[in-house]
Amino acid sequence: MLSPSSHLASLILLLLVSLTASASIEESFIQCLSFYSDKAAPFYESIYTPNNASFTKILDSSAQNLRYLVPSAPKPEFIFTPLTDSHVQVAVTCSQKLGIHLRVRSGGHDYEGLSYVSENETPFIIVDLAKLRDINVDIEDNSAWIQAGATIGEVNYRISEKSAVHGFPAGLCTSLGVGGHIIGGAYGSMMRKYGLGADNVLDARIVDANGRILDRKAMGEDLFWAIRGGGGGSFGILLWWKIKLVPVPETVTVFTVTKSLEQDATKVLHRWQEVAPKIDEDLFMRVIIQPATIPNKTERTITTSYNSQFLGGAERLLQVMKESFPELGLTRKDCMETSWIKSVLYIAGYPNDTPPEVLLDGKSTFKNYFKAKSDFVREPIPETGLQGLWQRLLEEDSPLMIWNPYGGMMNNFSESDIPFPHRNGTLYKIQYLTLWQDGDKNASKHIDWIRKLYNFMTPYVSKFPREAYVNYRDLDLGTNKKNSTSYIQATAWGYMYFKDNFNRLVKIKTKVDPENVFRHEQSIPPLPVSTMKHKDKKCKSWE
């Protein structure tokens, strides 16, 4: 990238901008890109406007929540899909020079559409990193450099190409973009063995608010801490992660056992709460909970499916289950021994005969209208609470709950090691979903239902604060859309996502992006200038 820094260069750009004041935002942006860009990396075919036939396809490509793709949802002036790291740099520079609000998307698993919809700030553009998906695996070094637009499925596949006994502990859904996934924490089926994806990051490259590309050494340990779990869209545009590979066995065992209410599901699940966080750390045993119609009847029941991955063979797994969780009744015929990469496909919900090459598609198979919420549980929910939960699930058309067990290695990190604070003492995390297919027609009905369910769960989940997972963004959590980026407004959701780490994130944001270039409805806010003066009289940059 050309980096004109002289006074003359700035004057030339200022003249260009003033001459194109009557031009469209797209034309002004292209002129600015032309001024700054490396001529060896043309970008013209990477800009999609509503006039392009491909615009809607690109906009919809990785977005999961159809609520934010309806015609009434705000649309960007254009979508820029950079081909190089330098393109991302100039996009940041030019958006600031032209006063254009910028949203960044790496994968699209964005529950509230914050990476591709701007409700309050228009005009806006999207920088979509989908074309930046290189993966360079170094088995001898037990590491890999991965670009932000690659999916976790692609990362897993490229690792497996080089080795059958290496993996990375992140991602249950294979179409997650690794940029946003890891920056929010990145849990996966090996989290109880090796921690989160963000716990296994060695280095990174990020474009900061000044358009500079910084690695770990250049950004410093404070910013490197913040981007490993501090949530996307706050500190810069993540370009690359250097991840640490972890050992996996040649044989991995998977199983799914389903219990309905008629099969003592309540008692078995009550026991699971006590067992799953303490059982052998090689076993990840999540529970998928949803209503189902009773066979040969019209009534509905609740099913609880224990969807699991064990880092080892079936015989050892059966011994572990016999000793710790005989209530599930696991048998040898329930178990399937497979490779680690095939277990990735199994946990992601692919049929057993699916070839691993499907991971290279990088596409989400999940597109719905939905609303989601999250909770962390620190004490087992009593059976009476579970029964009340079943009653409420049966009232909704298509609800879904996923309970992911913690414990194991997750207990070995302190709450402040990275911004992700949900550590020792957490039994499991709950994800709540309600899904529907009729667009905006009955959206309020379903959203009201999940809010009532969330209120019902209050006595049974974490308190002071009631914790939530930042990668399951929830705009219900104290977000005032009209003033969502103010520090006072942000404290409500900030402590839920980050607990006491929120204060450190705010200080880092204030240092690296005081002008709040990277912002959305739940981005980390900088402290206002007056607050900084009050808090630190020695801070010369604020006086």
Sign of the Cα torsion 252, 258, 264, 270 reads positive
Same domain, 309 and 443: yes
Same domain, 143 and 258: no
Same domain, 99 and 208: no
Integer Cα distance of 333 and 340 in angstroms: 19
**For residue 439, what are the domain limits?**
252-338+368-460
Beta-sheet strands, E only, within 110-224: 124-128, 135-138, 143-147, 166-167, 201-207, 213-214
> Catalytic pick from 432, 472, 495, 497?
472
Sign of the Cα torsion 408, 524, 128, 370 reads positive
> Is residue 357 situated within a structural domain?
no
Per-residue pLDDT in tens (0 to 9) along the chain, 543 residues: 444 444 545 544 554 555 444 468 888 898 888 888 766 567 777 999 999 999 999 999 989 999 999 999 999 999 999 999 999 999 999 999 999 999 999 988 899 999 999 988 989 999 999 999 999 999 999 999 999 999 999 999 999 999 999 999 999 999 999 999 999 999 999 999 999 999 999 999 999 999 999 999 999 999 999 999 999 999 999 999 999 999 999 999 999 999 999 999 999 999 999 999 999 999 999 999 999 998 888 899 999 999 999 999 999 999 999 999 999 999 999 999 999 999 999 999 999 999 999 999 987 778 899 999 999 999 999 999 999 999 999 999 999 999 999 999 999 999 999 999 999 999 999 999 999 998 878 899 999 999 999 999 999 999 999 999 999 999 999 765 554 557 888 999 999 999 999 999 999 999 999 999 999 999 999 998 755 444 444 333 322
> Is residue 232 situated within a structural domain?
yes
Task: List the one residue out of 318, 297, 301 whose CA is nearest residue 263.
Answer: 301
Task: List the one residue out of 362, 361, 309 whose CA is nearest residue 337.
Answer: 309
Provide the number of structural domains found in the chain: 4
Query: Is-catalytic flag, 472?
Result: yes
Instruction: Please give the pLDDT value at position 482.
Output: 52
Q: Is omega for the bond preceding 382 within 30 degrees of 0, making it cis? A: no
Task: List the one residue out of 210, 212, 209 whose CA is nearest residue 516.
Answer: 209
For 89, other C-beta atoms within 10 Å of its C-beta total: 24
Same domain, 93 and 150: no
Q: Among the residues of 73-151, which ranges form H helices? A: 85-97
> Is residue 147 situated within a structural domain?
yes
Task: List the one residue out of 47, 55, 60, 46 whose CA is nearest residue 364.
Answer: 60
Same domain, 278 and 213: no
Q: Which residue among 216, 247, 278 closes a domain?
A: 247
Residue 359 near residue 344, CB atoms below 8 Å: yes
> Is residue 46 situated within a structural domain?
yes
| Helix, strand, coil tally for the chain in percent (to 5) | 35, 20, 45
CA distances from 213 to 109, 135, 238, 278 (A): 25, 19, 9, 42
Instruction: Please give the pLDDT value at position 6.
Output: 47
Question: For position 265, which CATH number holds?
Answer: 3.40.462.20
Integer Cα distance of 132 and 479 in angstroms: 32
Number of H helices, E strands in the chain: 16, 18
Integer Cα distance of 530 and 534 in angstroms: 6
For 421, other C-beta atoms within 10 Å of its C-beta total: 23
Same domain, 20 and 99: yes
Sign of the Cα torsion 65, 71, 75, 77 reads positive
Integer Cα distance of 56 and 316 in angstroms: 50
Instruction: Please give the pLDDT value at position 22.
Output: 46
Same domain, 81 and 53: yes
Same domain, 112 and 76: yes
**Per-residue exposure over 111-131, b if at least 16 CB sit within 10 Å of its own CB, e if not:** bbbbbbbbbeeebbbbbbbbe
Q: Which residue among 128, 161, 178 closes a domain?
A: 128
Instruction: Please give the pLDDT value at position 298.
Output: 86
Same domain, 378 and 453: yes
Instruction: Please give the pLDDT value at position 23.
Output: 64
> Is residue 354 situated within a structural domain?
no
Integer Cα distance of 434 and 397 in angstroms: 8
Integer Cα distance of 518 and 39 in angstroms: 27
Instruction: Please give the pLDDT value at position 480.
Output: 56
- End-to-end Cα separation, the chain, in angstroms: 34
> Is residue 408 situated within a structural domain?
yes
> Which token pair is 292?
């189902």
Same domain, 436 and 505: no
Same domain, 143 and 105: no
> Is residue 310 situated within a structural domain?
yes
Question: For position 47, which CATH number holds?
Answer: 3.30.43.10
State pTM to two decimals. Answer: 0.93
Same domain, 121 and 27: yes
CA distances from 312 to 250, 332, 471, 500 (A): 8, 14, 30, 37
> Is residue 361 situated within a structural domain?
no
Sign of the Cα torsion 295, 300, 304, 307 reads positive
